Structure 1
Amino acid sequence: MSTVELSTPDKLEYNYYPVSGGSLHFTVKTPNDAHIALTQGPSETDSMYEIFIGGWNNSKSVIRKNRQKPDKAIQETPNILTADEAKGFWIRWNGGSIALGKKGEAEPFLSWDDPEPFPVTHYGICTGWGASGEWVIEDFLEIHTPDNLEYSYRSILWGRLDVFVNAAHDAHIALTSGPNDTEPMYEIILGGWGNTASVIRYNKEKPDKAKVETPSLLSDGEDKLFVITWLNGLLKIITDGQTLLEWKDPNPFEVTHFGICTGWGAEGKWRVTANGNKFIPLAPKSEPGWNLDNIESTGPAKWTAASGGEIPPNAIPAGIDNEQLYVGRANHEGAILPGKVVPSHGVCYVPWGGAEHGIPEYEVLCGCDATWMPATAGEVPSGALPSGETEDGEILYVGRAQHEGVTSIGKVQGSHKVCYIPFGGQEIAYPEYEVLVAK
């Protein structure tokens, strides 16, 4: 679980943060007007949901879409907030169903089904109308699975799941290309066979692709954390800082959904965080010279597995260094790093640890309408495409900078306030750079 503590002034101006799963759990201490936005990017977007708690002098709460009236749902909620005590709430969304409830209560007190839903990638919070606020926000997807071995599916943006599971045995995770069992699919069985062994299975078929003895791996009295990653077909399950299982799929597919279930006499309590977000605020305010109007967040971008200098159709070109360079990313030292694919070299070069690293197996960005926007000091504009993460879980974006007359592609790391590019064997930092925006 990831937790962030925030303060919001009395100014009705959202601060945005990446969201991983399909829910937020939070407490807020404020006399009135706690506002939450759900958007497609790290700023106000054309499609957005707004949830107002304790508005109109702490008398009612509403759900609004695209900042437009009439409100989509309204509920009288007198004295729901207080400046003296933190009140707990949860917000859940799935396929256009938006629900707001109180901490400790399973049923929402406010809900609405959007007939034209959109993908939510960020949330924003603010207070106003005479109120400031103190917030504690937990970002995870909380799920209970019965003893029936039927997967419950949810969408995922890319590349990583952090899974806390509390179960006696048989915690099953599926990775698929749709919101159901698909072919192909990966299946991970943790603590199977009476909590004695764990496996990776492909298309629910034997023989298992990987198997390890794991006596007493799970417990129904303890949350156990597993980090699951897949990049270019390399499926890894990590726990306690060690790789528990791994398997390399020779024909990888695009994973768009994950499913979880329990069975064989076991029920499970799960908390799932997608992409390992650490709530690092990378979105800046608009600055003079930035053309941010009407830029939407992630479009139909697709990361396609490749190797040895291969360039898939519709790959995104991004620079020239005696030949065309393309936007790529690769796995290195537990991180997923944006970088440059140099076809004649047969690798994707990524910056890490002060050096340039050539990785022969990588993914290439394909199929989106890419625009490059100027930025500085770790900032990214609205619509920037989340494209990787550090080994500590910080989200990285694709950036590029000019060096020795060459446009080189690398990673924007907000906490370091620079774009790092790989060049000439080195990792070179630039405080001024361009960021890839996908439309």
Structure 2
Amino acid sequence: MYTLTFTIVLGHLLGSTFALEPTNKFEATWGCKQYNTNHGYDHGHPYFATSRFRNIQVTRENVTMLRMGVLGNNDGHVRLAPTGFPYDETEMNEIVLSGWGNSKTVVRRYSRTSPKNRSVELKLKEQSSLGMLSTFEPFMFTMAVNHTDGFVQLTRDGDVHPFLEFRDANISTNYIGFCNWDVPLVFFYDCPLEIDRRVCEGIAFS
């Protein structure tokens, strides 16, 4: 009897502890806006003005913080541009999250003249990311852009260290866009920063 009682109490305590972790992985998208696409790379995808975002944060050190995510098997493209219509030989950045069959991540800078045409491409970073994206669980992360020196860090939810770092002194976060390659993708953007979301769930921070 005592063993049974202890087991029930222990189970209750553990259940209370682990209740802080989302049992539904999509809870991580709470408060986000959503963009769905199956239009492909060359489509005229929209660019969203970050000045209208509710959850963007700019620190005193001039670091812009943006939390977002992607759901899908591969090739989550995130585009950063100085204007909402970057087609006048506009210099911009593109982050390809786990492209090439969900195997590697690439960051590049180029000039764009239309939704289909770009030139003067420069690869800023390339690294392995085998299996990083999934059709069953959104990959949520925070992008931190230091506008003083152009240093950019992408950190996955729950992690301490960034999974991607690069530098571009000319990077702009005025507008952000998303696109897919060969499979449908769902993007989540303007998400509450992870610490804000956890505070809303009742976790106290010292």
Query: Is TM more than 0.5 here?
Result: yes
Cα distance in 2, alignment partners of residues 143 and 258 from structure 1: 12
Whichever structure has more helix as a proportion of its residues is 2
CA shift, 1:160, in A, is 2.2
The answer for the alignment partner of 2:128 in structure 1 is 213
| Aligned pair partner of 1:145 in 37, 43, 51 | 37
The answer for the alignment partner of 1:234 in structure 2 is 151
TM-score by length of 2: 0.61
CA shift, 1:139, in A, is 2.0
> Structure 1 residue 174 and structure 2 residue 74: aligned?
no
Q: Which structure's relative contact order is higher, taking Cα pairs within 8 Å and 6+ residues apart?
A: 2
CA shift, 1:278, in A, is 6.0
CA shift, 1:254, in A, is 4.0
Cα distance in 1, alignment partners of residues 97 and 190 from structure 2: 18
| Aligned pair partner of 2:92 in 171, 178, 185 | 185
Whichever structure has more strand as a proportion of its residues is 1
Question: Structure 2 matches for 1:278-427, cutoff 5 A?
Answer: none
The answer for the alignment partner of 1:271 in structure 2 is 188
Give, as a single letter, the amino acid of the residue that structure 2 aligns with 1:213: S
The alpha-carbon distance between structure 1 residues 207 and 179, as it changes in their structure 2 partners (threshold 3 A), is: closer
The alpha-carbon distance between structure 1 residues 278 and 226, as it changes in their structure 2 partners (threshold 3 A), is: closer
> Structure 1 residue 259 and structure 2 residue 177: aligned?
yes
CA shift, 1:222, in A, is 1.4
The alpha-carbon distance between structure 1 residues 155 and 147, as it changes in their structure 2 partners (threshold 3 A), is: same
Give structure 2 stretches of 5+ with no counterpart.
Answer: 1-29, 52-57, 59-63, 111-117, 200-204
8 Å contact from structure 2 (residues 93, 109) kept in 1: yes
Residue aligned with 1:184, SS: strand
> Structure 1 residue 248 and structure 2 residue 167: aligned?
yes
The alpha-carbon distance between structure 1 residues 181 and 275, as it changes in their structure 2 partners (threshold 3 A), is: farther
Give structure 1 stretches of 5+ with no counterpart.
Answer: 1-137, 281-391, 394-414, 417-439
Give, as a single letter, the amino acid of the residue that structure 2 aligns with 1:248: R
Cα distance in 1, alignment partners of residues 76 and 40 from structure 2: 11
Cα distance in 1, alignment partners of residues 131 and 141 from structure 2: 15
Give, as a single letter, the amino acid of the residue that structure 2 aligns with 1:246: E
Backbone CA RMSD of aligned residues: 2.8
Cα distance in 1, alignment partners of residues 155 and 36 from structure 2: 22
Give, as a single letter, the amino acid of the residue that structure 1 aligns with 2:183: A
CA deviation string 1:303-340 (max 9, x = no partner) = xxxxxxxxxxxxxxxxxxxxxxxxxxxxxxxxxxxxxx
Name the larger-Rg structure.
1
TM-score by length of 1: 0.30
The answer for the alignment partner of 1:155 in structure 2 is 49
Cα distance in 1, alignment partners of residues 155 and 195 from structure 2: 18
- Number of residue pairs the alignment of both structures matches: 146
Cα distance in 2, alignment partners of residues 195 and 253 from structure 1: 25
8 Å contact from structure 1 (residues 152, 261) kept in 2: no
Question: Structure 2 matches for 1:41-60, cutoff 5 A?
Answer: none
Give, as a single letter, the amino acid of the residue that structure 1 aligns with 2:36: H
The alpha-carbon distance between structure 1 residues 177 and 274, as it changes in their structure 2 partners (threshold 3 A), is: farther
